[in-house]
């Protein structure tokens, strides 16, 4: 699992930084989290393929998290998409989209299936290769974070070994599940000869826009990677609290409490040109911090 940052800024675009959007790649599928203005342009720039995108998650209805959605939804239709697109977001989102499509006299070329977010925490998608759970965070308006878990797909086939030993392709799924292969003459080929350990499941917590709070700590405990907003530096902690945002220091403290392995910071206020102080501040309490950069791909 990996995440490509499409936008890392808050509220206003600034210094070439775009509003929030992230593309999570998991077992060949793309999950889009938030969709700030110009997300479709950023997707083109960083080669994120629409054809692999079937699920979009919108955390809340502040514009810097979804003003790129109407354009993306529309463009996929103009490109002739036919596969269903699943959209998860606050219930009012579909009213806005419906109105926008209606005044344009537009009928989408594909089914747009809307799933309103519940008030609390809930599994939104439980697919064979990943699971997404939403959880409430604390912001000025209703807002949700998303926990994305990749599932193990079993052991990894070693194709050259399987071919050399003439293992039928039909048996590959059994190999993935750890079975040994028995030759027609009764010889047993041990599974470990034909496979190696597959990728471990991974957990990524996107904590959206939130005040510094432990209210959802139990849900994201022990994840591999946390993305936490850090709109401000800590000398602006009063402003951060008043605006339901977090400082870099607080985000790092949260990652510590959650026992995460890696912390990604984003949603930087447009008042900051230089982001190095965010790194310094967070590094003082958590060792593995990345100041997210648009276009960068982070392994979870």
Q: Among residues 64, 98, 185, 274, which one is catalytic?
A: 64
Instruction: Output the six-digit token pair for 263.
Output: 């912390």
Q: Candidates 99, 109, 259, 288: give the one binding a copy of itself (CB under 8 A).
A: 99
Binding to a copy of itself by residue 165, rule CB under 8 A? no
Binding to a copy of itself by residue 242, rule CB under 8 A? no
Residue 231 Rama label (left phi>0; alpha psi -120 to 50; beta) = alpha
Backbone phi, psi, residue 283, to 5°: -65, -20
Measure Cα distances from 226 to 13, 145, 191, 277 in Å.
23, 11, 35, 19
The piece of 101-109, 117-125, 129-137, 192-200 that touches a copy of itself (CB under 8 A) is: 101-109
| Closest approach of a copy of itself to the CB of residue 210, in Å | 16
Rounded Cα distance, 275 and 63, in Å: 23
Q: Name which of 103 and 170 has its Cβ closer to a copy of itself.
A: 103
Binding to a copy of itself by residue 62, rule CB under 8 A? yes
- Name the 3-class secondary structure at 296: coil
Buried b (16+ CB within 10 A) or exposed e, 238-259: eebeebbbbbbbbbbbbbeebe
Q: Candidates 14, 108, 127, 158: give the one binding a copy of itself (CB under 8 A).
A: 14
Q: Candidates 2, 13, 201, 261: give the one binding a copy of itself (CB under 8 A).
A: 13
Rounded Cα distance, 37 and 31, in Å: 17
| Closest approach of a copy of itself to the CB of residue 287, in Å | 34
* Catalytic residue list: 64
Give the binding site for a copy of itself (CB under 8 A). Answer: 11-14, 18-19, 37-38, 40-41, 44, 61-64, 67-68, 70-71, 74-75, 78-79, 90, 92-93, 95-96, 99-100, 103-105, 140-141
């Amino acid at each position: 699992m990996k995440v490509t940052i499409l936008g890392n800024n808050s509220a206003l675009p600034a210094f070439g930084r775009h509003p929030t959007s992230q593309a999570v790649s998991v077992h060949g599928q793309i999950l889009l989290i938030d969709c700030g203005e110009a997300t479709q342009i950023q997707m083109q720039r960083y080669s994120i393929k629409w054809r692999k995108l079937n699920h979009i998650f919108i955390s809340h209805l502040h514009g810097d998290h979804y003003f790129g959605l109407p354009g993306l939804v529309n463009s996929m239709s103009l490109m002739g998409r036919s596969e269903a697109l699943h959209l998860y977001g606050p219930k009012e989102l579909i009213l806005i989209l419906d109105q926008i499509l209606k005044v344009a006299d537009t009928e989408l070329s594909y089914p747009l299936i809307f799933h309103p977010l519940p008030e609390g925490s809930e599994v939104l998608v439980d697919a064979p290769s990943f699971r997404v759970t939403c959880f409430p965070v604390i912001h000025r308006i209703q807002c949700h974070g998303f926990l994305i878990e990749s599932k193990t797909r079993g052991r990894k086939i070693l194709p050259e070994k399987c071919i050399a030993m003439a293992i039928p392709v039909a048996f590959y799924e059994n190999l993935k599940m750890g079975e040994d292969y028995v030759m027609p003459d009764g010889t047993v080929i041990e599974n470990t000869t034909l496979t190696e350990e597959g990728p471990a499941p991974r957990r990524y917590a996107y904590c959206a826009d939130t005040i510094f709070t432990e209210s959802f700590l139990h849900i994201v405990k022990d994840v591999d990677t946390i993305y936490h907003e850090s709109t401000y530096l800590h000398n602006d902690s009063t402003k951060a609290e008043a605006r339901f945002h977090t400082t870099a220091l607080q985000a790092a403290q949260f990652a510590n409490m959650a026992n995460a392995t890696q912390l990604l910071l984003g949603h930087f206020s447009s008042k900051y040109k230089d982001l190095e102080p965010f790194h310094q501040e967070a590094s003082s309490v958590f060792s593995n911090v990345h100041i997210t950069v648009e276009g960068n791909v982070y392994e979870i």
